[in-house]
Amino acid sequence: MMMENTQSEQYQKLTQELRRGILVLAALSQLEEEKYGYSLISSLAEQGLDIEQGTLYPLLRRLEDQGLLKSEWNTEGSRPRRYYQISSEGSQVLGNLTEEWRNLTNVMEKLLAGISS
């Protein structure tokens, strides 16, 4: 039982690590149009990628600090919301990361082709 728990914890950590690497690319890809935090989470979830709020909000801040996103408060709705949109620098990075991702998935498909699930 103990062993099973440890294994499942380990699996969870590995999955988290694997997903962490793609979050930046996923977020940037959805911010051609401006979105606020919850709308971005919903949009990603609708397409099959669940991100925890506690992970996404700090990530958006970090990307903004790095100049890849720009943000502003919008007070027109029912409550003030902070909207994020990709910057021109962010678009460039998104292009490069997308290319990198495609190369990686090609390679990984080849590497994993012989493995039975």
Kindly list the residues in this chain that would bind other proteins in the complex (CB under 8 A): 36-39, 41-42, 52-55, 57-58, 61-62, 65, 73, 79-82
Shortest gap between Cβ of 7 and other proteins (angstroms)? 24
Task: Specify the amino acid at residue 63.
Answer: L
Strand partners, 82: 73
Shortest gap between Cβ of 99 and other proteins (angstroms)? 26
**Count of C-beta atoms within a 10 Å radius of residue 101:** 15
Provide CB contacts within 8 A for 65, sequence distance 6+.
none
Shortest gap between Cβ of 14 and other proteins (angstroms)? 20
